[in-house]
Amino acid sequence: MKNISTEEFVEKVKCGEALNIIDVREPFEVEQGMLKGALHIPMNDIPERMDELDKEKAYYIVCAHAVRSANVTQYLLGNGYKAMNVEGGMAVIAPMLSE
């Protein structure tokens, strides 16, 4: 599976790099905050919403603690998409972005 470290991902976000981010958390979790520009697709909705994704683009997959995102990353890779799991998840990303 492809992973990107929390530090490397946060650096890309802070630099304003154009990223295709998919947040796979549940709606009640994203109410607490979501990365600007991220696409919200709860993990269980991924199979039925893959037609919204472009196989030519690379996606960064985030969740709360990088467990669900790891599963979604594996699923997308297995279906011909370019996906990368963001280590640490929002529990680690959010505090780093508020620094």
Contacts of 64 (CB under 8 A, 6+ apart): 25, 29, 89, 90, 91
Q: Which two tokens stand for residue 2?
A: 């492809």
Rounded-to-integer distance, Cα 64 and Cα 55, Å: 25
Q: Which two tokens stand for residue 15?
A: 């630099």
Annotation says 63 is catalytic: yes
Catalytic residue among 41, 46, 61, 63: 63
Active site residues: 63
